[in-house]
């Protein structure tokens, strides 16, 4: 279902904001992130256990079903209990007020904020039933870090959906409600409050003494399951299956490769984006500019188009021992070459050195319109998208990084390799050996530069996985052909090699 030039039918069906995205780890589906347009992971839950609701009312708002959003008796009682305890153990705000605060997203301790909170609370009470307010609360409440909602909290701290949380885990989430970031960092304080709440449930006969003792003796320890926000447009490209009832997306993301992609972007000196593709599916993606950048940005892709054009030209009459002018072209188009070459070179040498003039001359001999038609069919774009500078990687509407990765993955697919494609792969393998200083037979590399070297691209592929990388900006302005992108790839190659898993005994 993953693709980069059209939307999937599933994601068109409805708004999927708040859906949980699962990734693959070995043969298991595990939570990765939440569909979100900002940095917060607010997961929509389809199920809230009744005891979670009743316990919340017990701790936060005993008169929840009796007030209209504001409980003045509770405010007086909380003040008294806090003075008696010598610390804040109760709050005067109702559940509806707390929900109002989470909706307003204003935690300032000011009179104006309190007035807005009260007005919003009364409005909520007028619009929703008490049960609906509880459901809204559990979907909105803040749980620390970038987590909102009971579902996201369960996935983040325990790696579990809400219905799979045991009693102690549910109680822990209620424990940290008052100050999640504080309690997460101060587990001794969290345990003290956890014990207090469990004891309160026991004294009020909400749980048995046996259950209370089990809570105390099996106090939970939280995990580090970071959830990542993923923009809705990205879901179109990573979806295997969408479950509307459970509000989840089973994705094509591979955990290990995705972790590498995020690390690759996080540690880059310059803004960088990366996509990994296998069998027409996106395994990983990351970008300095946001999760959707590799999918929605369409740009010129420079010399990364040359391998496709090479194969087309060889299949259409250009022989391996034919030579073309490398310093000027037959259509009188002044193009930039990075360095001086022999006056006439073969198409093979032109691909290796990414010579522009030789490619233009060879394309002109076969027929520029034939080349444009080939590219339009390859990328499923109208032929008007292509023109002479397309030989050098330019198109009218641009090509996304995801599109480029998918086309490479499909075009150089192992079962369908022709002799000429294998010939091309051997040239690209020579480039990989030369630039990466890594002697393995089944990894290839092709680079490209655009926008006066402010954008550098690299395609790295083995028989299975294709990585497409785009580095933006270059304030230091590196005059080398590949800028500093290759330097960074070489420093990261030990991790990239682990993802590619090259077979040193295999050759294309």
Could you tell me the CATH number of the domain that includes residue 105? 1.10.3810.10
Region of poorest pLDDT, from 62-71, 260-269, 364-373: 62-71
Overall average pLDDT of the 88-106 stretch: 76
Please indicate, yes or no, if residue 86 is contained in any of the structural domains.
Answer: yes
Of 87, 115, 141, the residue that ends a domain is 141
Mean pLDDT taken over the chain: 87
Of 397, 416, 449, the residue that ends a domain is 397
Overall average pLDDT of the 294-317 stretch: 96
Q: Domain range holding 134? A: 49-141
Q: Does 109 score more than 70 pLDDT?
A: no
- Closest of 70, 126, 110, 128 to residue 94, by C-alpha: 70
Please indicate, yes or no, if residue 479 is contained in any of the structural domains.
Answer: no
Please indicate, yes or no, if residue 267 is contained in any of the structural domains.
Answer: no
Region of poorest pLDDT, from 72-76, 136-140, 396-400, 442-446: 72-76
Q: Does 11 score more than 50 pLDDT?
A: no
pLDDT band at 141 (very low <50, low <70, confident <90, very high): very high
Euclidean distance between CA atoms 68 and 316, whole angstroms: 79
Domain count, the chain: 2
Task: Give the pLDDT confidence score for residue 105 in this predicted structure.
Answer: 79
Please indicate, yes or no, if residue 448 is contained in any of the structural domains.
Answer: no
Q: Does 136 score more than 90 pLDDT?
A: yes
Please indicate, yes or no, if residue 288 is contained in any of the structural domains.
Answer: no
Please indicate, yes or no, if residue 451 is contained in any of the structural domains.
Answer: no
Region of poorest pLDDT, from 104-118, 212-226, 337-351: 104-118
Left, alpha or beta for 437 (phi > 0: left; psi -120 to 50: alpha)?
left
Q: Cβ contacts of residue 425 below 8 Å, gap of 6+? A: 412, 417, 444, 508
What percent of the chain clears pLDDT 70, i.e. is strictly above it? 88
Region of poorest pLDDT, from 215-229, 360-374, 394-408, 486-500: 486-500
Euclidean distance between CA atoms 106 and 436, whole angstroms: 52
Task: Give the pLDDT confidence score for residue 6 in this predicted structure.
Answer: 42
Please indicate, yes or no, if residue 293 is contained in any of the structural domains.
Answer: no
pTM over 0.85: yes
Q: Does 211 score more than 90 pLDDT?
A: yes
Please indicate, yes or no, if residue 191 is contained in any of the structural domains.
Answer: no
More confident residue, 438 or 323: 323
Q: Does 389 score more than 60 pLDDT?
A: yes
pLDDT band at 90 (very low <50, low <70, confident <90, very high): low
| Per-residue pLDDT tens digits for 174-202 | 999 989 999 999 999 999 999 999 999 99
Euclidean distance between CA atoms 127 and 107, whole angstroms: 23
Of 111, 141, 171, the residue that ends a domain is 141
């Amino acid at each position: 279902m993953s693709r980069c030039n059209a939307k999937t039918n599933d994601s068109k069906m409805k708004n999927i904001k708040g859906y949980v995205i699962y990734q693959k780890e070995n043969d298991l589906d595990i939570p990765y992130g939440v569909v979100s347009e900002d940095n917060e992971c607010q997961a929509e839950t389809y199920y809230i256990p009744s005891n979670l609701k009743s316990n919340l009312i017990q701790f936060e708002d005993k008169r929840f079903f009796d007030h209209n959003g504001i409980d003045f008796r509770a405010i007086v009682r909380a003040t008294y209990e806090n003075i008696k305890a010598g610390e804040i153990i109760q709050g005067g705000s109702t559940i509806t007020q707390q929900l109002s605060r989470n909706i307003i997203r204003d935690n300032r301790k000011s009179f104006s904020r309190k007035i807005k909170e009260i007005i919003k609370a009364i409005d909520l009470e007028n619009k929703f039933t008490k049960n609906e307010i509880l459901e809204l609360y559990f979907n909105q409440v803040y749980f620390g870090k970038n987590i909102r909602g009971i579902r996201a909290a369960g996935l983040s701290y325990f790696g579990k959906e809400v219905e799979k949380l045991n009693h102690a885990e549910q109680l822990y989430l209620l424990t940290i409600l008052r100050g999640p970031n504080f309690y997460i960092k101060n587990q001794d304080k969290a345990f003290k409050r956890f014990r207090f709440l469990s004891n309160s449930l026991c004294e009020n006969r909400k749980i048995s003494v046996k259950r209370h003792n089990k809570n105390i003796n099996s106090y939970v320890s939280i995990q580090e399951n970071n959830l990542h926000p993923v923009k809705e447009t990205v879901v179109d490209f990573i979806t295997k299956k969408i479950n509307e009832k459970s509000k989840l997306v089973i994705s094509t993301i591979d955990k290990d490769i995705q972790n590498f992609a995020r690390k690759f972007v996080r540690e880059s000196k310059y803004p960088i984006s990366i996509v990994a593709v296998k069998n027409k599916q996106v395994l990983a993606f990351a970008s300095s500019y946001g999760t959707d950048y590799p999918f929605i940005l369409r740009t010129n892709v420079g010399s990364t188009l040359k391998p496709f054009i090479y194969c087309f030209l060889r299949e259409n009459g250009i022989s391996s021992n034919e030579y073309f002018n490398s310093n000027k072209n037959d259509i009188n188009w002044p193009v930039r070459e990075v360095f001086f070459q022999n006056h006439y070179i073969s198409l093979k040498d032109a691909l290796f050195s990414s010579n522009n003039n030789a490619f233009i001359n060879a394309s002109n001999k076969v027929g520029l319109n034939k080349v444009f038609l080939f590219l339009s069919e390859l990328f499923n774009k109208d032929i008007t998208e292509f023109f002479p500078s397309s030989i050098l990687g330019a198109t009218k509407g641009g090509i996304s990084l995801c599109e480029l990765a998918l086309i490479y993955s499909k075009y150089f697919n192992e079962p369908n390799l022709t002799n000429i494609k294998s010939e091309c792969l051997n040239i690209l393998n020579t480039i990989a050996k030369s630039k990466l200083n890594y002697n393995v037979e089944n990894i290839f590399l092709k680079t490209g530069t655009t926008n006066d070297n402010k954008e550098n691209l690299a395609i790295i592929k083995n028989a299975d996985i294709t990585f497409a990388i785009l580095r933006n900006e270059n304030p230091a302005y590196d005059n080398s052909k590949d800028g500093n992108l290759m330097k960074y790839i070489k420093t990261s190659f030990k991790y990239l090699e682990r993802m590619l898993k090259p077979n040193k005994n295999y050759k294309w």
